[in-house]
Structures are given as structure tokens and as C-alpha cells.
């Protein structure tokens, strides 16, 4: 048997169990017992002699082959795995809030109330899993802050964040339900087990399949509109694919990962293509004199400040969900924004970002010690050097009936940078 030393306790363990063993060092005793039981069951399944398939014996890898649609869903609910992550005592956002409160009174910061950080793991998803990690971060907020309406519907009502393979299965089920058909076609309806980049449209499709109102906003140069070619008899457009760089271009509908951010220009910020009134919750307040990336910053500021919660001091906890923040090559989670009022009257903004590429333990340490956390979390306007960006946000409420059908078609609001 191939053995490898644990990087924490240095005990030799089978290579196939190294990641599971190492992650256990971050869990409490109850979680360790549960995972040990799960591993034992998995090993029993792996080494058991072949037997006729039945619903109770199906594991997640068998879902697409032998089961009907409803059986797939029920089986996934029962067999999905909880994602392992480094749990921060009292929450990472509480630590961030304390650090922001110590800053000067000439700053105002607005934060999402609760978000867990999910880091990419070296032996699991480094280099391709950032999109899934951002879905996990966004979901952690939704389950914690909107418990009554979200917990019943998200991930089969299990009340926890699934791991990446389980999320991949949920996305396949969303596609099978008819959410984001162009995106499904791009992946041939299969994503489970693949190390493929995903983006805001996959996030939106997955969350919409549970009735959550996930919306997309695109930011880019005006000349980007000229990339589209109209299709006779259709309100959508098509484009050729850009091969070799991991990006693709398709029709006006936003669909697929790392799209180079295929968008539809929507005048008046309303969506006429699918019949769904998808509008930017904050775009009407944007100051049009702002140019370049400041338009993105203004939208984010208006999004977080448009909150039902009153301000208190120079750190405000918003009821708004974090933002899935996509650009060419990477995606992160925006958990808030800060404005600094300078003496010359100029306002300096910083995005407050959780990056899946950072280690949760390092974030926790820097915030607790109040040293170096700014370099890990704050991002100024000058760092926004990409020509195009996408945001995915989730509005309150759960869709049903006709509204649920309309959510199957994913489009976006476009704002010119």
C-alpha cells in the first residue's frame, strides 16, 4: 500500500486517504466521528462484491445512468457529502468587522452579515475550482442569513454546504430541469468529475433550480456590443468560439463558464429577451459621470448600501448577500465595500474580497492578530485591470410556478465601463 506522511501529525497514511486525514485536523470530535463512519461505509461499498442495483445502494457516481429523474434527486439528497472547510470560531466576518472598526472614522464599510470561507485544496481543486468555492461561500450566507426561506429548498433541505462533486451533480440536475439550456449544451449536460472552469451562469443556473433569484450583471466596454451577430427569426445572437484560452463566446444570452462575458445590452436595465424582469437592484443610482472601473465600484457600493438595516458607526452590516465576482482567469467573492473620505474631497473605495486561493487559516490568523489582513482582503479600484467583469447576486424570495419557468432562461444586465 502506498503511504504518505500527514503534513500536520506526520503519521503515515494511505495516499488515497491523505486529504481526508489531513482535513480531519480542522474538525471537532463530532465531525471526525461522522466522517470516519462515512469513510468506513465508502470502503465497504468499494470492496463489496457486485450486486443488483437498487435505490439504497446507489452512490453519487451512479446517478445519471440507472435512475429516473426524481430518483436521482432523492438519491443525491441522501448521498451528497458535506464540504470540509476550516471553521472559524465566531465566524470570519465577525473578525473582519472588528478590524474595520479599528480603522479611522473617515472610512465607512458595509459588510455581508455572515460568510464562511472555502479555500481551494491542493489535492482537490487548485487551478480550476474557484467557481465552485464561490458558490459554497455564497450558499453559506444564504443558509445562515435566510434560514426560513432558503434552508427548506437549497440542496434538498439538508442544511449544509455540499462538496464539489455533489455540487456538480446538482448542476447537472439543474440542466436536466431546463435551466440554462445553452450552458448545458456547451458541457454536453455533463460536469461531474470534470476539472472544468465554471462561471456566474453556472452559479445562477444551480441556485435558480432551487427557486433562488440569482441575477447577473455584466460590465464591459461599449465596443463589446459589436461582437454579436443577429440570427434571423431570433432575438439572440451567436458568435464563434475562442479556442485555446479556456474562454468561449456564444450568443447574447449569458451562458457557460469564463464566457469572455457574453452579454446582452439591455436599454433601461430591463430584460426583454426572456420575459423575466431581470434588473440591476442598484444600477438606477449609478452616477453616469464615473468612467471605467468606477462604474463597477459604484454599482457594488449601491448594492450593499441599499439595505434594510440602518447604519451604526462607520461599519455597517448589510442584509445583502455577497457577490460572485468573475473576471478572465479567476473568480472571487465580494463580501463588502469600503469608502475612505479624503481631505481633498475625493472618495477612495476598496472592495472587501474573500479569495478561494487564500488559506482560511492564514486569513483567520491575520484578522485575529490584526496584521496583514488588508493585503489579503482589500482591493482598490487600481487593481481592477481586466476589461470585463461579471457579478452574480441573489435577490430575496423563492420563485415558484410561472416565475420559476422564466428563471430557466439566463440573461444579464449590461453596464458600460
- Res 7 pLDDT > 90: no
Burial 346-368 (b: 16+ CB within 10 A, else e): eeebbbbbbbbebebeebbebbe
- Res 24 pLDDT > 90: no
What average pLDDT does range 5-34 have in this prediction? 60
What average pLDDT does range 284-307 have in this prediction? 74
Q: Place 23 in a pLDDT band, splitting at 50, 70 and 90.
A: low
pLDDT in tens, 79-91: 899 999 999 998 9
pLDDT computed for residue 377 by the predictor: 97
pLDDT computed for residue 246 by the predictor: 30
Q: Domain locations in the chain?
A: 3-79, 92-416
Task: Give me the count of residues in the chain.
Answer: 417
pLDDT computed for residue 274 by the predictor: 32
Greater confidence (134 vs 328) lies with 134
Provide the mean pLDDT of the chain. 77
pLDDT computed for residue 10 by the predictor: 64
- Res 408 pLDDT > 50: yes
What percent of the chain has a predicted confidence (pLDDT) above 90?
53
CATH class for the domain made up of 92-416: alpha beta
Q: Exposed, middle or buried by CB within 10 Å (0-12, 13-18, 19+), for 400?
A: exposed
What average pLDDT does range 129-147 have in this prediction? 95
What average pLDDT does range 316-338 have in this prediction? 95
Closest to 332 measured CA to CA, from 122, 118, 158: 118
Amino acid at each position: 500500500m502506498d503511504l504518505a506522511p500527514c503534513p500536520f501529525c506526520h503519521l503515515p497514511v494511505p495516499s488515497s486517504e491523505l486529504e481526508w486525514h489531513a482535513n480531519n485536523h480542522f474538525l471537532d470530535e463530532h465531525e471526525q466521528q461522522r466522517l470516519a463512519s462515512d469513510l468506513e461505509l465508502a470502503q465497504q461499498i468499494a470492496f463489496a462484491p457486485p450486486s443488483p442495483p437498487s435505490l439504497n445502494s446507489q452512490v453519487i457516481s451512479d446517478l445519471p445512468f440507472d435512475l429516473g429523474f426524481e430518483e436521482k434527486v432523492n438519491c443525491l439528497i441522501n448521498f451528497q457529502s458535506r464540504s470540509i472547510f476550516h471553521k472559524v470560531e465566531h465566524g470570519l466576518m465577525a473578525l473582519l468587522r472588528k478590524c474595520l472598526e479599528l480603522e479611522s472614522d473617515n472610512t465607512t464599510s458595509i459588510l455581508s452579515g455572515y460568510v464562511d470561507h472555502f479555500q481551494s485544496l491542493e489535492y482537490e481543486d487548485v487551478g480550476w475550482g474557484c467557481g465552485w468555492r464561490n458558490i459554497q461561500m455564497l450558499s453559506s450566507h444564504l443558509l445562515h442569513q435566510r434560514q426560513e426561506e432558503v434552508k427548506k429548498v437549497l440542496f434538498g433541505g439538508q442544511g449544509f454546504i455540499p462538496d464539489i462533486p455533489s455540487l456538480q451533480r446538482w448542476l447537472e440536475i439543474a440542466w436536466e430541469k431546463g435551466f440554462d439550456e445553452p450552458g448545458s449544451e456547451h458541457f454536453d449536460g455533463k460536469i461531474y468529475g470534470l476539472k472544468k472552469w465554471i462561471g456566474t451562469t453556472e452559479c445562477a443556473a444551480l441556485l435558480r433550480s432551487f427557486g433562488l433569484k440569482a441575477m447577473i450583471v455584466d460590465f464591459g466596454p461599449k465596443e463589446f456590443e459589436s461582437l454579436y451577430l443577429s440570427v434571423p427569426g431570433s432575438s439572440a445572437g451567436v458568435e464563434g468560439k475562442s479556442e485555446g484560452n479556456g474562454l468561449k463566446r456564444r450568443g447574447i444570452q449569458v451562458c457557460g463558464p469564463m464566457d469572455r462575458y457574453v452579454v446582452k445590452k439591455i436599454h433601461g436595465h430591463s430584460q426583454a429577451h426572456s420575459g423575466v424582469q431581470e434588473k440591476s437592484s442598484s444600477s438606477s443610482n449609478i452616477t453616469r459621470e464615473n468612467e471605467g472601473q468606477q462604474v463597477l465600484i459604484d454599482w457594488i457600493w449601491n448594492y450593499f448600501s441599499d439595505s434594510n438595516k440602518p447604519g451604526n458607526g462607520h461599519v455597517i452590516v448589510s442584509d445583502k448577500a455577497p457577490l460572485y465576482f468573475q473576471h478572465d482567469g479567476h473568480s472571487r467573492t465580494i463580501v463588502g465595500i469600503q469608502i475612505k473620505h479624503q481631505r481633498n474631497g475625493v472618495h477612495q473605495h476598496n472592495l472587501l474580497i474573500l479569495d478561494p486561493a487564500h488559506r482560511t487559516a492564514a486569513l483567520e490568523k491575520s484578522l485575529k492578530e490584526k496584521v496583514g489582513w488588508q493585503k489579503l482582503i482589500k482591493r482598490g479600484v487600481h487593481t481592477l485591470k481586466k476589461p470585463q467583469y461579471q457579478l452574480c447576486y441573489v435577490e430575496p424570495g423563492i420563485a415558484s410556478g410561472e416565475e420559476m419557468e422564466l428563471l430557466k432562461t439566463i440573461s444579464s444586465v449590461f453596464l458600460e465601463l
